[in-house]
């Protein structure tokens, strides 16, 4: 078994910490007990933090409000970086006019389409009138009929040569102690394999979110080096791989997607090695 260490004894040696949301601050039960004390510990020592989440279904403000409803204080919107923000930024820069088709919920679409573009759900798309469709976005794993709308998505992408954006790269997420649900990234990868095309993926492990958070840290008059930053997550293939690629130290916690019983096997089989392993960020 890999060595399990105390998170608080690790984090106090860094000047900034990037925290994943699901599996680190909260899980299927709600807020992880003791997380508020850890966040207070981080802030009391002047350690900067950012929340990096692959949840593209809610804005920074909505994410912050969600933490508050769970009982976690001290996470303002500006401390949160979402994969949806990266997708929205891409749409603002690259798509000029027209409509964007999406697979997901109307709430997620409203947030992403603040890029001043008109959105249309795949379910409402007229397959005989596609001239104004300029991009397609995979947003969420709910809000649509999995059989009918995924088939419709496949046919849209086959007919239209346009940017295909994946706003959440996660393959799955826990919904109970021993159960998971398929996430947006897995749906997108299924469609990619069917039509043999590569889409534009946002979120961890890709570097856009890390670059954004790093630049944000260094925009407030302080200067941070990557050696002074710690990335904390519960998933090897997103959080830890992303942190490793970006060049910061990484902590794998066992309070979410990775459990104590599988951690050693997962590290060996994936070749993705965290710098530290902790039970959680509590203690």
pLDDT digits (tens, 9 = 90+) for 17-44: 999 999 999 988 899 999 999 999 999 9
Q: Where does a domain end: 134, 166, 201? A: 201
Residues 11 and 48 in one domain: yes
Q: Where does a domain end: 148, 174, 201? A: 201
Domain around 128? 85-201
* CB-count burial class (<10 Å; 0-12, 13-18, 19+) for 246: buried
111-117 average pLDDT score: 75
3-10 average pLDDT score: 93
Contact 218, 224 (CB under 8 A): yes
Three-class DSSP category at 45: coil
CATH number at residue 218: 3.40.50.1000
Q: Which residue has the higher pLDDT, 183 or 52?
A: 52
Q: How many structural domains comprise the chain?
A: 2
pTM of structure: 0.90
Residues 100 and 196 in one domain: yes
Domain membership flag for residue 79: no
Domain membership flag for residue 146: yes
Domain membership flag for residue 66: no
Is residue 1 predicted with pLDDT exceeding 60? no
Which residue is listed with tokens 């969600």?
Answer: 66
Domain membership flag for residue 224: yes
Is residue 203 predicted with pLDDT exceeding 60? yes
Compute the distance between CA of residue 202 and CA of residue 155 in angstroms, rounded to an integer. Answer: 23
Instruction: Give the whole-number percent of the chain exceeding pLDDT 70.
Output: 99
Q: What is the pLDDT of residues 134-175, one digit of tens each?
A: 999 999 899 999 999 999 999 999 999 999 999 998 888 777
- Cα 116 to its chain centre, rounded Å, is 23
Residues 105 and 180 in one domain: yes
Residues 155 and 182 in one domain: yes
Domain membership flag for residue 13: yes
Q: Where does a domain end: 163, 183, 201? A: 201
Contact 7, 278 (CB under 8 A): yes
Domain membership flag for residue 215: yes
Residues 183 and 223 in one domain: no
- What is the token pair recorded at 170? 């996660």
Contact 161, 123 (CB under 8 A): no
Residues 220 and 133 in one domain: no
Residues 94 and 195 in one domain: yes
Using CA atoms, how far residue 137 sits from 87, 107, 281, in Å, is 9, 14, 33
- Mean confidence (pLDDT) of the chain: 92
Domain membership flag for residue 283: no
Q: Which residue has the higher pLDDT, 117 or 77?
A: 77
Which residue is listed with tokens 């709430």?
Answer: 107
Domain membership flag for residue 1: no
């Amino acid at each position: 078994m890999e060595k399990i260490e105390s998170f608080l004894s690790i984090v106090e040696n860094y000047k900034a910490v990037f925290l994943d949301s699901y599996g680190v601050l909260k899980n299927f039960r709600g807020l992880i007990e003791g997380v508020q004390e850890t966040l207070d510990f981080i802030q009391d020592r002047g350690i900067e933090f950012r929340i990096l989440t692959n949840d593209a279904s809610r804005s920074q403000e909505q994410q912050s409000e969600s933490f508050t409803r769970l009982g976690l204080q001290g996470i303002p919107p500006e401390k949160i970086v979402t994969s949806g923000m990266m997708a929205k930024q891409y749409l603002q820069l690259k798509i000029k006019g027209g409509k964007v088709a999406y697979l997901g919920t109307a709430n997620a679409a409203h947030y992403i389409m603040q890029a001043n573009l008109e959105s249309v759900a795949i379910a409402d798309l007229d397959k005989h009138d596609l001239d104004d469709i300029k991009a397609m976005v995979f947003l969420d794993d709910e809000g649509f009929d999995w059989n009918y709308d995924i088939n419709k998505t496949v046919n849209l992408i086959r007919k239209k040569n346009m940017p295909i954006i994946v706003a959440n790269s996660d393959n799955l997420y826990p919904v109970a102690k021993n159960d998971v649900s398929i996430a947006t990234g897995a749906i997108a990868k299924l469609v990619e394999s069917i039509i043999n095309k590569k889409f534009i993926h946002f979120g961890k492990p890709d570097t856009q979110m890390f670059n954004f958070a790093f630049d944000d840290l260094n925009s407030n008059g302080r200067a941070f080096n990557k050696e002074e930053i710690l990335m904390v997550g519960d998933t090897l293939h997103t959080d830890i791989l992303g942190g490793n690629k970006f060049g910061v130290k990484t902590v794998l916690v066992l309070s979410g997607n990775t459990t104590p019983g599988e951690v050693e096997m997962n590290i060996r089989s994936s070749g993705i090695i965290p710098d530290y392993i902790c039970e959680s960020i509590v203690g």
